[in-house]
Amino acid sequence: MTVVLRTIPEARRWVRTERTSSGALGLVPTMGSFHEGHLSLIRRARQICDRTIVSIFVNPLQFAPGEDYESYPRDFDRDLSLATQEGVDAVFHPEAGEMYPSGLVTSVGVGKLGEALCGASRPGHFQGVATVVAKLFHIVQPDRAFFGQKDAQQALIIRTMVLNLNWPLQIEVCPTVREPDGVAYSSRNRRLSAEERSRATVLYRSLRLAESLIQSGERNVACVEQQMQKQIQKMIHAVPGAEIDYARLVDPATLGGLQQIRGEVLAAVAVRFGKTRLIDNLSIKIAPERQARG
Closest approach, Cβ 221 to a copy of itself, in A, equals: 23
Residue 38 annotated to the active site:
yes
Among 51, 122, 125, 135, binds a copy of itself (CB under 8 A): 135
**Interaction between residue 113 and a copy of itself (CB under 8 A):** yes
**Interaction between residue 141 and a copy of itself (CB under 8 A):** yes
Q: How many residues bind a copy of itself (CB under 8 A)?
A: 28
Three-state SS across 226-262?
A: HHHHHHHHHHHCCCCCEEEEEEEEECCCCCCECCCCC
Nearer to a copy of itself, 42 or 255 (CB): 255
Residues whose CB is less than 8 angstroms from the CB of residue 178 and which lie 6 or more positions away in sequence, other chains included = 184, 185, 204
Stretch that binds a copy of itself, among 160-168, 171-179, 227-235, 238-246 (CB under 8 A): 160-168
Of the candidates 159, 168, 208, the residue with the CA atom closest to the CA atom of residue 184: 208
Residues whose CB is less than 8 angstroms from the CB of residue 14 and which lie 6 or more positions away in sequence, other chains included = 3, 5, 53, 90
Stretch that binds a copy of itself, among 61-69, 128-136, 190-198, 238-246 (CB under 8 A): 128-136
Residue window 10-29: x/- pattern of binding to a copy of itself, with contact defined by CB under 8 A: --x-----------------
Among 91, 145, 161, 265, binds a copy of itself (CB under 8 A): 161
Is residue 105 exposed (0-12), middle (13-18) or buried (19+ Cβ within 10 Å)? Answer: exposed
| Catalytic-labelled residue, pool 35, 38, 93, 138 | 38
Nearer to a copy of itself, 103 or 180 (CB): 103
Q: How remote is the C-alpha of 45 from its chain's centroid?
A: 16
**Interaction between residue 206 and a copy of itself (CB under 8 A):** no
How far lies 78's CA from each of 92, 148, 223, in Å? 15, 21, 45
Is residue 262 exposed (0-12), middle (13-18) or buried (19+ Cβ within 10 Å)? Answer: middle
Closest approach, Cβ 130 to a copy of itself, in A, equals: 7
Residue 276: phi and psi, rounded to 5, are -95, 125
- Where does this chain bind a copy of itself (CB under 8 A)? 8, 12, 103-113, 127, 130-131, 134-135, 138-139, 141, 160-161, 164-168
